[in-house]
Amino acid sequence: MTKRQFSMKQILFSSALALGLLLGSVSAMAAEGGVELPSAGVNLRDQASLQRGARLFFNYCVGCHSLKFQRYQRMAEDLGLTEDEVMKNLNFTGAKFGDTVVSHMPEDSAKQWFGKAPPDLSLEVRARTADWVYGYLNSFYLDPSRPVGWNNTVFPNASMPFPLWELQGVQTAVKKPGSEDVEKLELSQPGRMTPAQYQQAARDLTNFLAYVSEPAALQRHAYGIWVILFLALFTLLAYALKKEYWKDVH
């Protein structure tokens, strides 16, 4: 066996091993909580969805959760909002336009009510994946045995109450026969939204959090089009130069 053949086999083996580890980690995340995660359908180019998601976050989430790596000013620029729109409709803490998004819940009060301070959500999608966040928002159910009265099939024994229950309604768990495992969730009390409307709202909120986890992705997508066009043009020029250079050789 030559060195070249040996090296090629090493490369193929390493690639297959890396792919297997990646698929294994994705499967493990999908199986977390014993449920299959639905697709969040994230689309950072859908500016209307990002705006709706921002409205949901600042109306239902910012009371407990911060976005310490996101500034109001940057959000306005990326989401196509004016300073006046952001400061009047999305800023409820009296922060300045250039400040980062910080929850107005005192940390001591949060620890007293929930046992620990609610996490910052700036990188939640990067840490958990968008599908996990979307599945989490769809998987709350009423559980009187829990301190806050709610539980979640994606993240069992979650200490967070369900902030969107008025929109989705109240779900109850149907247990598997002879087991405490949850077989499915049923909507026992309708909310202000239909199931389809709520799923879209959860998607919008997840989409916004996906943007927050990497705001530069919007610019990177815009630059990517120009990079591809440049490479295509460069390829044509390089091919024409090659033909011109080699025509006298052949």
Q: In the chain, where are the structural domains located?
A: 36-239
Are 83 and 76 in contact by the 8 Å Cβ rule? The answer is yes
User: Cα separation of 46 and 207, whole Å?
Assistant: 9
Residues in a beta bridge with 152: 140
Are 132 and 32 in contact by the 8 Å Cβ rule? The answer is yes
**Amino acid residing at 18:** A
Classify 202 as helix, strand or coil. helix
Name the phi and psi angles at 190, rounded to 5. -60, 150
64 carries a ligand binding annotation: yes
pTM: 0.76
221 carries a ligand binding annotation: no
pLDDT at site 26:
46
Closest to 75 (Cα-Cα) out of 63, 196, 62, 8: 62
61 carries a ligand binding annotation: yes
The pLDDT tens digits of the residues spanning 24-77 come to 444 444 445 456 899 999 999 999 999 999 999 999 999 989 999 999 999 999
pLDDT at site 8:
55
The pLDDT tens digits of the residues spanning 74-129 come to 999 999 999 999 999 999 888 999 999 999 887 777 666 766 778 999 999 999 99
The pLDDT tens digits of the residues spanning 184-226 come to 999 999 999 999 999 999 999 999 999 999 998 877 766 677 7
User: Cα separation of 34 and 38, whole Å?
Assistant: 13
Look up the CATH superfamily of 36-239. Cytochrome c-like domain (1.10.760.10)
**Amino acid residing at 49:** S
